[in-house]
Amino acid sequence: MTLSEAYDYASNVMVENMLKLDAEEGIEAFIDKRKPNWQDK
């Protein structure tokens, strides 16, 4: 994989991860200064 392809791939993986419910929960927990309630989703 070229460097450009690697950046494209990594960008797609990061976007997919940020769309998961646990990502939203983690961000909200951080802002609220509380422990996150992970649901593995």
Instruction: Give the predicted TM-score (pTM) of the model.
Output: 0.65
For 5, 23, 24, 30, 41, the CA distances from 33, given in Å and listed in that order, are 37, 15, 14, 5, 21
For residue 38, the number of C-alpha atoms closer than 13 Å in the C-beta half-sphere is 1
Task: Give yes or no for a contact between 22 and 41, defined as CB atoms under 8 angstroms apart.
Answer: yes
The tens digit of pLDDT for each residue in 1-41 reads 999 999 999 999 999 999 999 999 999 999 999 999 999 88
Measured in whole angstroms, the distance separating CA 18 from the mean position of its chain's CA atoms is: 3
Task: Give yes or no for a contact between 33 and 25, defined as CB atoms under 8 angstroms apart.
Answer: no
